[in-house]
Amino acid sequence: MRVLILGGDGYLGWPTAMKLTAHGHEVAVVDNYLRRNLCREEDVGPLFSVPNLNERSKIWQDHSGYAVSVFIGDLTQSDFMEEVFRAFTPDAVVHYAEQPSAPYSMLNSRAASLTLNNNLNTTMNLIMAVRKYCSECHIIKLGTMGEYGTPNIDIEEGWIDVEHKGRSHKFLYPRQAGSLYHTTKIMDTDLLWFYVRMWGLKVTDLMQGPVYGLLTDENQGQEALLPFFNYDEIFGTVVNRFIVQAVAGYPLTVFGKGGQTRGYLNIKDTLNCVRLSIETPPEKGELRIFNQLTETFTVNELADRVVRVGNQFNLDVKIKPIDNPRIEPEEHYYNPAHTGLLELGLKPNFLTDDAMAEMMETVLRYRSNIHEHKIFRKIKWKK
């Protein structure tokens, strides 16, 4: 299929492009380097330098023989979105093109406005372009498990049957976001669900948990093809941050009681979830929702694992609980269903000690690149 990846420069975007071309799909990527620019503005950045998209495309083609087309521009501009769709009319679109950080969205009013405008305008422009140029196109939107929050009941896979006063109806599972970023993802879902009903769009919404890892089947032994790997509080995910903190000798920053539970998955599983979704599309007029995770952990459990694996490398890893800068339950019930992708054929890569050791070994090679002042910025949800 012809697959267009919006946000193709990101932590997940570029690895997805390589995965899909390796599986025989024709791929184009689009980005305006927003994440790189925000990293420079906030004085954070990846663990190692990453080539730009045109350079990556050339390196990947030289290495694999597979080509990736590149478009550079701002997808919040509807004329640019249409230009891309005219040049590369896709069978499927993977929508990563959003400001992806909850902490950044809570930084200040400018960051909040950027998050709101960037995320919602890009989604709206995508919907309009699909309707105009390829109404049969399958939209795969990367949502987040953070849309659900932490309800005191089981989290169903996107939908819930409600009985009320003797009548019943199927609804989207109630959302209760914990940041402005997560709120924009809820609004994405609502926009897509509205236009699925109005225009018969074909949509898969992937409610993804925090992703960890650097190595994929496609970048093994190719340093220039590693993902854009942040380790800071703003753009780094918790497992990735803890691994870098362990290598740097920086105490693991456990927020509050550390009982916050989330569903996690390896970057390899993310790529396969997206691929399986593309290759097994929903029906026209269907909003299909998958909870994209493979296992759940508390923050304390993750920290203890990092300490244990760090000992194998003779690292003196310490845990330092700190006042929680976020407004969130620190101990709660959490039981999300996640069978849909397994039924499509996902074979999970679990967070074993060996998997964590492989990550730690890779990070150790870049130890001299770690800047401790970039790790923790004390971004508070409530000023």
Say if CB 173 and CB 147 are below 8 A apart.
no
Active-site pick, 173, 181, 334, 366: 181
pLDDT score of 383: 73
Residue type, 3: V
Q: Which CATH architecture does the domain made up of 2-374 adopt?
A: 3-Layer(aba) Sandwich (3.40)
Active site (annotated) includes residue 144: yes
Active-site pick, 185, 202, 268, 374: 185
**Element (H or E) spanning 70, and its range?**
strand 68-72
Active-site pick, 16, 115, 122, 144: 144
Mean pLDDT of all residues in 137-146: 98
Mean pLDDT of all residues in 14-24: 98
Mean pLDDT of all residues in 17-24: 98
Backbone angles phi and psi of 46, in degrees to 5: -75, 165
Compute how many other C-beta atoms are within 10 angstroms of the C-beta atom of residue 120: 16
β-bridge mates for residue 252, sequence order: 319
Which tens digits make up the pLDDT trace of 33-55? Answer: 999 999 999 999 999 999 999 99
Average pLDDT, the chain: 97
Mean pLDDT of all residues in 334-354: 98
Active site (annotated) includes residue 366: no
Distance (Å, rounded) from C-alpha 69 to C-alpha 57? 7
Instruction: Map out the domains of the chain as residue ranges.
Output: 2-374
Distance (Å, rounded) from C-alpha 220 to C-alpha 138? 30
Active site (annotated) includes residue 378: no
Residue 240 has pLDDT above 90, yes or no: yes
pLDDT score of 39: 97
Tokens of 236: 């780094």
% of the chain residues with pLDDT over 70: 100
pLDDT score of 67: 98
Which tens digits make up the pLDDT trace of 64-108? Answer: 999 999 999 999 999 999 999 999 999 999 999 999 999 999 999
Length of the chain: 383
pLDDT score of 121: 98
Give the pLDDT band (50/70/90) at residue 27.
very high
pLDDT score of 101: 98
pTM here? 0.98
Mean pLDDT of all residues in 223-246: 97
Burial of 300 (0-12, 13-18, 19+ CB in 10 A): middle
